[in-house]
Amino acid sequence: MFVSMGRFVISALMITAILTGVPEAVTVDPATTYQTIEGIGVFPVVPTLFQKAGLFYMDRPTSWEYDRMCTDLGISGVRFQLATEGSYLARGKYDWNGIKGEIDFLKQCKARGVDRYIITILNPPGWAKTNGIPILGGYLLDAEYDGFAEYMAQMCKALKDSVGVEPYGLCVQNEPFFQEPYGSCQYSDENFSKLSTLAKQRLTALGLTTRLFAASDVCANYQNWSTTIKNTAIYASATHIACSDWNAVANYAKSNNKKAWETEWDIQPPGAPTTNYMTPGGSLMSGLKAGFSWWTWFTYNNNMGAGAHGTDLVDTMWVPDKRYYATKMFSRFIRRDAVRIGCTGGSANSAAFKNPDNTISVIFVNSGGATTESITGSGLPAVWHVYRTSATENCVYIGQSGGTDIQVPGASIVSVISDSKVPEIPPDPTPYHVAAPTPDMTVGQINARGDDMLRVWVNGAEVPLKEGTNYSVSIR
């Protein structure tokens, strides 16, 4: 039957298709390739992997927290930043006990299959800076460029010797434009480039292939480091926080023959609702489709509980919030060195990736109304496994699909993979409960429990605790 309305003719079949939600065709083409995904990971706070809870501190992450980060979240890389005053004692004099926390952390990650890591220098030691202190900006002394470059190369070698894997990337200074109240140092574009060149020369002399990235500045400043980015010693152009135009930033890197990296992506600003998962999901999708090849979730530790960003976490359950699951929809299904492949059509925003094991992942981010997607293309698998995060679901396994009826509800992120061999971990043990003391409380009871041990400081010094022993702590 046909209905004629002037120049328009609509068939009953077309009306039925509109009303029943006939699947939208999404064409996946493995023969069309884009960037290789070098890593999707997190930036935990190292070595201070503990959080304040009232008057006490909790040692984190425990073994189960490493399992959650490396296996459940499925990261393929980590970034940490390094304050050097504990390991760079004087020119040519190093104490690698000063990076023991980083070494221990990397060993735990490597044991769980995550051995790709990048480092950002937080600051040179105070004695090597114009202001004489590690914090509040200042500049690296002219006479210390050579010595500091040698330190950074020797530090990378020490990590390789201790961990068994050399750093994948190194940035000689975090956010070099800013004078910060924490560890920081300021550089001009020319001097940042100079120090990067010296560091690369020292790394090469030691037989290391660690890549240099720069300038680890906020996204709005990405064009302020043109001398550095044009430097052949630099491998990747790295930015921090969300970009208003991911394509422009990625294209700037490509125009200078550099990779585009997002090394400090703060999912949401302090105080933002932890229930928001579509904003981080949309940013990750936009960045990857623009051509970014490394992605780091900043402040992973602070976004892992019920407390607000940067505040004391009291009586905390350490239950992941929605931002965790938004990230997981990508990091769990896009493996290290996956290649983004052709993906066109459909109603939901989508991207596809071919993993090194030849599995294919297709990810949908749908900020509109509910839709049904049909994956089409030549040589694609017959069976897909569907996972979904929505307002009421957290990376839930939906089941198998032939690919022709992928349900993508409104305000959801859906990941499908052609192989169900996605690692699972046992349920978490009972999370920490540490209550804040009441104003009239004078004595607190704690128990040292080995791997889950509470840590206590008195007048700034840590008090050693013996496993299995009860302690009474007077609070004045």
pLDDT (tens digit per residue) in 423-466: 565 555 444 444 444 433 333 333 333 333 445 555 555 666 66
Q: Which of 191, 180, 193 is nearest to 136 (CA)?
A: 180
Residue in this structure with the two tokens 């060993």, named with its chain if needed: 107
Residue in this structure with the two tokens 């007077």, named with its chain if needed: 474
Residue 346 is encoded by which pair of tokens? 């459909």
Residue 354 is encoded by which pair of tokens? 């071919």
* pLDDT value at residue 320: 75
Q: Which of 270, 236, 253 is nearest to 168 (CA)?
A: 236
Residue 12 pLDDT > 90, yes or no? no
Q: What percent of the chain has pLDDT over 70?
A: 74
Distance between CA atoms of residues 357 and 55, nearest Å:
48
Q: Which residue has the higher pLDDT, 4 or 26?
A: 26
Residue 324 is encoded by which pair of tokens? 């965790």
Lowest mean pLDDT among 45-54, 72-81, 299-308, 403-412: 45-54
Distance between CA atoms of residues 37 and 213, nearest Å:
16
Confidence class of residue 14 from pLDDT cuts 50, 70 and 90? very low
* φ, ψ for residue 132, nearest 5 deg: 75, 5
Q: What percent of the chain has pLDDT over 90?
A: 64
Average pLDDT (347-375) is 97
Confidence class of residue 299 from pLDDT cuts 50, 70 and 90? low
Lowest mean pLDDT among 137-141, 180-184, 323-327, 356-360: 323-327
Lowest mean pLDDT among 49-53, 174-178, 205-209, 438-442: 438-442
For the chain, the average pLDDT equals: 82
Residue 7 pLDDT > 50, yes or no? no
* pLDDT value at residue 157: 98
| Structural domains in the chain, sorted by start | 24-32+340-417 (2.60.40.1180), 37-338 (3.20.20.80), 443-474 (no CATH)
* φ, ψ for residue 162, nearest 5 deg: -85, -40
Amino acid identity of 79? R
Average pLDDT (224-229) is 97
* pLDDT value at residue 48: 41
Confidence class of residue 19 from pLDDT cuts 50, 70 and 90? very low
Confidence class of residue 101 from pLDDT cuts 50, 70 and 90? confident
Lowest mean pLDDT among 239-243, 267-271, 318-322, 334-338: 267-271
* pLDDT value at residue 423: 58
In this structure, the chain runs to a length of: 476
Residue pLDDT, tens place only, 382-397: 999 999 999 999 999 9
Q: Is 60 exposed, middle or buried (0-12, 13-18, 19+ CB in 10 A)?
A: buried
Residue 167 pLDDT > 50, yes or no? yes
Q: Which residue has the higher pLDDT, 59 or 343?
A: 343
Lowest mean pLDDT among 122-136, 220-234, 345-359, 446-460: 446-460
Lowest mean pLDDT among 187-191, 250-254, 449-453: 449-453
Distance between CA atoms of residues 217 and 412, nearest Å:
31
Q: Which residue has the higher pLDDT, 457 or 188?
A: 188
Distance between CA atoms of residues 149 and 223, nearest Å:
25
Distance between CA atoms of residues 278 and 322, nearest Å:
9
Average pLDDT (300-305) is 57
Average pLDDT (247-256) is 97
Distance between CA atoms of residues 326 and 427, nearest Å:
20
Evaluate whether 120 touches 169 at the Cβ level (below 8 Å): no
* pLDDT value at residue 143: 98
- In angstroms, the Cα distances linking 75 to 49, 153, 240, 334, 335 are 18, 26, 19, 9, 8
Residue 339 pLDDT > 90, yes or no? yes
Confidence class of residue 419 from pLDDT cuts 50, 70 and 90? confident
Residues 6+ apart with CB under 8 A from 349: 282, 285, 364, 365, 366, 367
* pLDDT value at residue 343: 98
Average pLDDT (345-356) is 97
Could you write out the three-class secondary structure of the chain?
A: CEEEECCEEEEHHHHHHHHHCCCEEEEEEEEEEEEEECEEEEECCCCCCEEEECCEEEECCCHHHHHHHHHHCCCCEEEEEEECCCCEEECCEECHHHHHHHHHHHHHHHHCCCCCEEEEEEECCHHHECCCCCECCCEECHHHHHHHHHHHHHHHHHHHHHHCCCCCEEECCCCCCCCCCCECCECCHHHHHHHHHHHHHHHHHCCCCCEEEEEEEEHHHHHHHHHHHHCCCEEEEEEECCCCCHHHHHHHHHHCCCEEEEEEECCCCCCCCCCCCHHHHHHHHHHHHHCCCEEEEECCCCCCCCCCCCCCCCCCCCCCCHHHHHHHHHHCCCCCCEEEEEEEECCCEEEEEECCCCCEEEEEEECCCCEEEEEECCCCCCCEEEEEECCCCCCEEEEEECCCCEEECCCEEEEEECCCCCCCCCCCCCCCCCCCCCCCCCEEEEECCHHHCEEEEECCEEECCCCCCEEEEECC
Evaluate whether 361 touches 416 at the Cβ level (below 8 Å): yes
Lowest mean pLDDT among 73-77, 223-227, 358-362, 452-456: 452-456
